[in-house]
Amino acid sequence: MLKLDKYLNLKTKHGTVVRVVREHYLRKDVPCNNELCNKFCNKGLDCIPSNVSHILIPDCFVARTFAEILDLPELRGLLFLQTVLHSALHDGSRRTYNRLLGKVHDGKSGCAIFANEFCEDIYALQESGEKLEDWQFRLVFRSAEWYFSHLDKQKPIIILTENKEVSPLFSL
């Protein structure tokens, strides 16, 4: 396990900005929650089944903005990253966050959560001058790459994004 110090600027209710340090632990054994996994991950209750055609990873903007569409029962095989759920809660609303969680936990949706920010091979600190959205997208992309290789490339992965600037940069 690896420990990182994460610096955050938090605003108090009086408007003062306070710099705090949080310990962030990274692990090698974060479960992928996918039935196709051959790597002995613990399979949780909410797992992506092997019969989905693709694994869909919405980015932060798509999850926050199109939660209603993502919630359609026809859409299965969605993988919600910790980065994305965190953004839905903090940059979106609790309602959106609960809707996405509800989709994962309904037992029939074939969707899962992946705690990408605790995964040693994926996590990267936000670089100085890097915009929050760019850093979040970088984590989403690194997660998709890792997940594809972790599943031995058995299933295509699609990142759902509206970001026209980053998509050519990251396309393979």
Site residues, Zn ion (CB under 5 A):
32, 37, 39, 41
Alpha-carbon span 128 to 157, nearest angstrom = 30
Helix (DSSP H) and strand (DSSP E) numbers for the chain: 6, 6
Structure tokens at 67: 């939660």
Nearer to Zn ion, 32 or 85 (CB): 32
Question: What's the min distance (Å) between Cβ of 77 and Zn ion?
Answer: 15
Nearer to Zn ion, 93 or 149 (CB): 149
Nearer to Zn ion, 31 or 58 (CB): 31
Nearer to Zn ion, 62 or 144 (CB): 144
Question: What's the min distance (Å) between Cβ of 40 and Zn ion?
Answer: 8
Alpha-carbon span 9 to 165, nearest angstrom = 27
Neighbours of 92 (CB within 10 A): 19
Question: What's the min distance (Å) between Cβ of 92 and Zn ion?
Answer: 28
Relative to beta strand 2-11, strand 157-160 is: unpaired
Question: What's the min distance (Å) between Cβ of 164 and Zn ion?
Answer: 32
